Structure 1
Amino acid sequence: MSYLNKTYSFVKQENFDGFLRAVGLPEDKIEQVLKFSPDQKLTKDGDTYTYHTHGFEGPKEVKFQSGVEFDDVIGADKTPIKTTYVVDGNTVTQTITAAQGNATFKREYIDDDLIVTITGNKFDGVSKRYYKAK
């Protein structure tokens, strides 16, 4: 797990606006979210992982154990969600269940690259966000 404790910086995205429209985000919010380019880092302490990000709301930490569902919130409006992260080698898959629909964020760590592939039950396409280790 050479990706642990590395900070990854946002590089580019593909079709993320399509995903945001599919989950019903208003156009004015989509413009803001598309500018959102948080650094992210994953750390581990025993069986607990922590995702560290910094974005609109400032720094955020999400603590989780692989395969264990928990309550969380996303976005500036603090939308409640159920989420589960599964760590499998160099892949961390997050599944979200919310009133707006379900989504999967598959994070693949390949050398110094992080590719996040986003799919959802209300989204016909695939979105990707790319990051590079600092």
Structure 2
Amino acid sequence: MVQIEGKYQHERSENLDGFFKAVGVPYVARVMMRMTSPLLEVLRDAGKWVVRSTTMVRTQEMSFVPGVEYDEVMPSGDVLKNTAQVEDDCISIVSLLPNGKKTTREYKFSDESVEVTLTDEESGQVAKRYFRRV
């Protein structure tokens, strides 16, 4: 079984701009996010999971119990309605955006890394972010 908890440093991304454009992220915010190299931290405490992304500009944190809907407040102030599942070496999060769109984030863990796949259900745009364990 893969150890999910830990810290991971961003290495590269694929089609991040296309995904963010599809879900309605403004141009300046998309440029800023493409330029970041976040540190991802995954923690678990008594059945509650925390996924924290830290850059020089900001820290964003999601706390959730698998299967229980929770709110995620975006930097824009928009609130996403999320539900997460944890199975084996994966964390999957389904988000309902304020505009009614649905997106998924899948964190696939290995002993050395995590691959994050972001999918916009409506447009089919898919982005990938790759992190190595530190």
Cα distance in 2 for partners of 1:70, 1:124 equals 24
Q: Percent identity?
A: 24
2:125 alignment partner, SS class: strand
Aligned to 1:62: 62
Q: Could you report, residue by residue, the CA deviation over 1:62-82 in whole angstroms, capped at 9, with x for unpaired residues? A: 2110111112212x2121110
Q: Which has the higher strand share?
A: 1
Cα distance in 2 for partners of 1:28, 1:123 equals 21
Between 62-71 and 24-33, the greater mean CA deviation after superposition: 24-33
Cα distance in 2 for partners of 1:28, 1:53 equals 19
2:124 alignment partner, SS class: strand
CA shift for structure 1 position 92? 0.2
CA shift for structure 1 position 56? 6.3
Aligned to 1:80: 79
Aligned length: 132
Q: Could you report, residue by residue, the CA deviation over 1:81-133 in whole angstroms, capped at 9, with x for unpaired residues? A: 10111100110001110123110000000121100011112332321000000
- Displaced runs of 4 or more, over 4 A: none
| Unmatched tracts of structure 2, length 5 or more | none
**Could you tell me the TM-score, scaled by structure 1's length?**
0.89
Amino acid at match of 1:10: H
| Unmatched tracts of structure 1, length 5 or more | none
Cα distance change, pair 69–16 in 1 and its aligned pair in 2 (3 A): same
**Could you tell me the TM-score, scaled by structure 2's length?**
0.89
Structure 1 vs Structure 2 CA RMSD: 1.6
Cα distance in 2 for partners of 1:56, 1:79 equals 22
